[in-house]
Amino acid sequence: MPVAAAAWLDLDPGHPFSLAALPYCSFSTRQHAAFHRVGVRVGDRVLDLTTAAERLLPGRSALFRDGLLDPFLAEGHGAWADVRAEITAWLSQERFREAVEDLLVPVAGAELRLPFTVADFVDFYASREHVTTLSSILRPDADPLPPSWLHQPVGYHGRAGSVVPSGTAIRRPCGQVRGPGGAPEFGPTTRLDFEAEVGFVVGVETVLAEPVAVSRFAEHVFGVCLVNDWSARDIQAFESAPLGPFGGKSFGTTVSPWILPLAALEHARVRPPSRDTELAEYLTESEDWGLDIRLEVRINKQLASRPPYSAVHWSPAQLLAHLTASGAALRTGDLYASGTVSGPGPGERGSLMELSLNGAEPVALADGSARAWLADGDEVSITATAPGPDGTRISLGEARGQILPAIVETVR
């Protein structure tokens, strides 16, 4: 039974940021630019949770004092549930109006930043459709799946320091690529791409040699965000043997500013796609952690793709179990992402490389233009919704970025 918002909030129960969502952010306002606060989205406003907790939840207010989610993430599942219940009470009961109404600011006036300190960033390769489409393009005669792919999630460590919040402009990167004659050339990428992904934010840390069982996923992972893992395909192609992607993926990774807690995704849980391979015990799930998150990718506001996260082969609980299976520790603020989300349909692919078949068939946009790869000035927006209560859909917000032209200069 969904909780109705208090009358004074004037919030439609079908609003994508209804009380069923309540994602967290870090924000400041123009009037108080230096005062970074933890916020909670409700409708088209942001609740100043840092101040609200001082008034109404003094025992936990230290968790929100520095304006980042880090201490709250570290606190664990009990705190996550309690604080969500408190916020829900404040926003649904008339008696809290006086205490919180002046703490709601219009979202348009909130300056959003990265809501947590990114510790390690891991990106997976969990969508079978993504992998098989890439293989059919790049290695049409080879096995469409890498040797270990059906047996374990394949992933790599990305650059945590390059994670930026939605709205940050992305400079077209330079790098070495294989030139027409085969010799390498240094210059701006000519094959700039997006990758639409779902990211998972770790709250509770572990120590080395303490694997996290699939059944303990929700004890460690706080919530989800949207991720655009910008990729320079030509730089990546030249550099990747044998250690994987590096500079072609480390020039910027955009995340949505809203972290939606797992608690808001109870209605979104689905069984992952059927798997045809017997799995090692540490990857065998007893709960369904597939998620019916529907992504939409827009280029310059025109719909380019609708990738369905529910089609992704490896669940986020399996990704975490595999990430820690060999003994890697978790730190608060670790971010791991699904890798490109692609569905079986042609309009469900999560990257231009797949949509344009490696540039061979440029994607037609509604304005009459077409894209094989991203052009300078292009703005890419990834949004998503998930099922909420009573047939509503809740929003995961937006991960957006605009491409700036390369800077080509001598850097000696």
Name the residues annotated as catalytic: 130
- 105/335 with CB nearer a copy of itself: 335
Cα gap 16→387, rounded to integer Å: 10
Query: Footprint of a copy of itself on residues 202-221 (CB under 8 A)?
Result: 208-209, 211-215
Q: Contacts with a copy of itself: how many residues (CB under 8 A)?
A: 72
Are 126 and 312 within 8 A, CB to CB? yes
Kindly state the smallest distance separating residue 286's Cβ from a copy of itself, in Å: 7
Assess 321 for contact with a copy of itself (CB under 8 A). Answer: yes
Cα of first residue to Cα of last residue in the chain, in angstroms, is 63
Judged by CB under 8 A, the residue of 67, 158, 199, 350 near a copy of itself is 158
Query: Footprint of a copy of itself on residues 385-404 (CB under 8 A)?
Result: 404
Judged by CB under 8 A, the residue of 14, 106, 146, 377 near a copy of itself is 146
Kindly state the smallest distance separating residue 259's Cβ from a copy of itself, in Å: 19
Judged by CB under 8 A, the residue of 330, 352, 355, 363 near a copy of itself is 330
Query: Footprint of a copy of itself on residues 252-291 (CB under 8 A)?
Result: 252, 280-282, 284, 286
Judged by CB under 8 A, the residue of 23, 43, 67, 175 near a copy of itself is 175
Are 293 and 310 within 8 A, CB to CB? yes
Assess 148 for contact with a copy of itself (CB under 8 A). Answer: yes
Judged by CB under 8 A, the residue of 71, 79, 84, 156 near a copy of itself is 156
In the block, tokens 């705190």 appear at 79
- 81/407 with CB nearer a copy of itself: 407
What single DSSP character describes residue 344?
S
Q: Which stretch binds a copy of itself (CB under 8 A): 32-40, 78-86, 160-168, 393-401?
A: 160-168
Kindly state the smallest distance separating residue 243's Cβ from a copy of itself, in Å: 4
- 59/180 with CB nearer a copy of itself: 180
- 184/346 with CB nearer a copy of itself: 184
Name which of 141, 195, 164, 150 is nearest 382 in CA terms.
195
Assess 159 for contact with a copy of itself (CB under 8 A). Answer: yes
CA 79 to mean position of chain CA atoms: 23
Beta-carbon contacts of residue 59 (< 8 Å; ≥ 6 apart): none
Query: Footprint of a copy of itself on residues 86-145 (CB under 8 A)?
Result: 119-120, 125
Assess 334 for contact with a copy of itself (CB under 8 A). Answer: yes
Q: Which stretch binds a copy of itself (CB under 8 A): 6-14, 190-198, 248-256, 341-349?
A: 248-256
In the block, tokens 């209804």 appear at 18
Kindly state the smallest distance separating residue 237's Cβ from a copy of itself, in Å: 10
Cα gap 297→38, rounded to integer Å: 28
Secondary structure (DSSP) of 291-325: E--EEEEEETTEEEE--BGGG-SS-HHHHHHHHHH
Q: Which stretch binds a copy of itself (CB under 8 A): 4-12, 328-336, 345-353, 377-385?
A: 328-336
Assess 380 for contact with a copy of itself (CB under 8 A). Answer: no
Name which of 41, 202, 8, 51 is nearest 120 in CA terms.
202
- Residue 364 main-chain phi, psi, to 5 deg: -80, 130
Judged by CB under 8 A, the residue of 56, 174, 297, 320 near a copy of itself is 174
Cα gap 219→113, rounded to integer Å: 26
- 125/200 with CB nearer a copy of itself: 125
Helix (H, G, I), strand (E, B) or coil at 335: strand
| Distances in whole angstroms, Cα of residue 230 to Cα of each of 293, 317, 350 | 20, 24, 11
Judged by CB under 8 A, the residue of 251, 289, 309, 373 near a copy of itself is 251
Q: Which stretch binds a copy of itself (CB under 8 A): 7-15, 97-105, 178-186, 389-397?
A: 178-186
- 166/395 with CB nearer a copy of itself: 166
Query: Footprint of a copy of itself on residues 35-94 (CB under 8 A)?
Result: none
Judged by CB under 8 A, the residue of 16, 39, 165, 245 near a copy of itself is 245
Cα gap 337→335, rounded to integer Å: 7
Preceding omega of 405 cis (within 30 degrees of 0): no
Beta-carbon contacts of residue 307 (< 8 Å; ≥ 6 apart): 196, 294, 295, 297, 340, 341, 342, 343, 348, 349, 350
- 32/151 with CB nearer a copy of itself: 151
Secondary structure (DSSP) of 123-161: EE---HHHHHHHHHHH-TTS-SS-TTTTTS--EEEE-GG
